[in-house]
Structure 1
């Protein structure tokens, strides 16, 4: 099966892709393009999958740059190939030939571009990272490399949608403590639960950071098991582990 790569015109003309799980070498619960070194999948199979992604993005395997994601607001400025051990959840670069990649399985993969300045970024933004400011920190790091926020275009890739994201009272209160206006990203669910609009919140934070354009591809990871991995779906199914999707942008 060939790779399936979702793109968004807002990031044109820069080469990028939100890869689905289709076209990979993994099997079992990881069936497809699992690119997560932190999963219990066979390391050599994950390397094969990453190699396919690098080839699709027309970069050498060591130019496909990732970080050790820890749900933080930390951002790395990347000037060359890295070993992936740096702890961060955002990356930016102005170095041609590098591809920045983030891994997700319900959290938001966010790709950024200021094509005029030749600066790109990528961020892993779960609820904690988004609340703590990883999106704004990524834009600020891009500006340090010569980008202008008003020219930056940012696109959120496949993420868990509001209908699938049930949360409790404590979760709601954490967001309301940060900003009472955050109530608009929650709707009432059943049995005292709520449903949180993670991508809607992400777009809000991006626009508040002053980016020129921000949006979501509107693909729900939870609702489409044939195309996407989902941590929450795996948890509900009682499976032992789950694959990680990869989203990439390059200069």
Structure 2
């Protein structure tokens, strides 16, 4: 059971590569799960916003990814990244990290034994991380408006639940962390889009602080996860308001930060 006696509360980080991090208590085998979200100080971790003829930019991203892995205590190049397309598709991490191949096209990933570090890249959408205390499986999901409406979170929970023994199906002992994203005070959308989204997930309905239609992505994600019986913790950081994280709406093209989930301890490549 990877959650051990229960999670240590998520903590803001005053400096360094993370804006928020939670370290869960080790289980009886000495394995501990961790979740975190990187800051702009960690650099952009996205390759997809670089030009095709920008080798220096690629090297900078690779250096940033390696430095973050050093702070995580995992092997360089071991983290599993995705080619995200705002889908509801979930894939299983195959043991090949970013140092060995391009990531598959999908918007959520699952590590069945929790051994492979997982990453999801965002800059206003939600980086959602999950840990199953029963099986030790972990997952990372990219949930923006389209993904939420199309069921990326339901599909991710289904994938974790399918890993449980037949007699232990359900979500008791499963927890999700909703990371920094655009909040309902800031995420302005057209009225038609708000109406469409709220018809599917009522909790998405919101209004900006200046009185125009908006979507509350964190509230919508929380409602979806809780409807499936998953325990939820929300990180109260708005990407449009907080310059410690990247925001596409505030500063298009500048970069992407990552939500990360990984384990350290017995059987993993732990590094300080």
Q: TM-score normalised by the shorter chain: which range applies?
A: 0.7 to 0.9
What 5-or-longer segments of structure 2 have no aligned partner?
Answer: 1-14, 27-31, 264-272
Question: Once the 2 structures are TM-superposed, how far is the Cα of residue 195 of structure 1 from its aligned partner?
Answer: 2.0
Q: What is aligned with 2:223?
A: 204
Aligned residues: 232
Q: Which has the higher helix share?
A: 1
Normalization by structure 1: what TM-score? 0.84
Match of 1:245 among 245, 257, 272: 257
1:187 equivalent in alignment to 2:196: no
Q: 1:21 to 1:184 in 2, by over 3 A?
A: closer
Match of 1:71 among 86, 97, 103: 86
Match of 2:178 among 144, 156, 161: 156
Deviations, residues 190-224 of structure 1 (Å, cap 9, x unaligned): 57x3121110111001111221x112111111101
Q: How does 1:1-251 map to 2 (within 5 A)?
A: 2-8=16-22, 13-22=32-41, 24=42, 33-40=43-50, 42-82=57-97, 83-146=101-164, 148-178=170-200, 182=202, 185-187=205-207, 193-211=212-230, 213-225=231-243, 227-235=244-252, 241-251=253-263
- Contact in 1 for aligned 2:194/2:214 (Cα 8 Å): no
Q: Which runs of 4+ in 1 moved over 6 A?
A: 9-12
Q: 1:86 to 1:130 in 2, by over 3 A?
A: same
Residues of 2 paired with 1:163 and 1:70: CA distance? 25
- Contact in 2 for aligned 1:79/1:94 (Cα 8 Å): no
Residues of 1 paired with 2:58 and 2:229: CA distance? 40
Q: CA RMSD in A?
A: 2.3
Normalization by structure 2: what TM-score? 0.78
Deviations, residues 82-135 of structure 1 (Å, cap 9, x unaligned): 423311001111235310000000100000001331111000000110111101
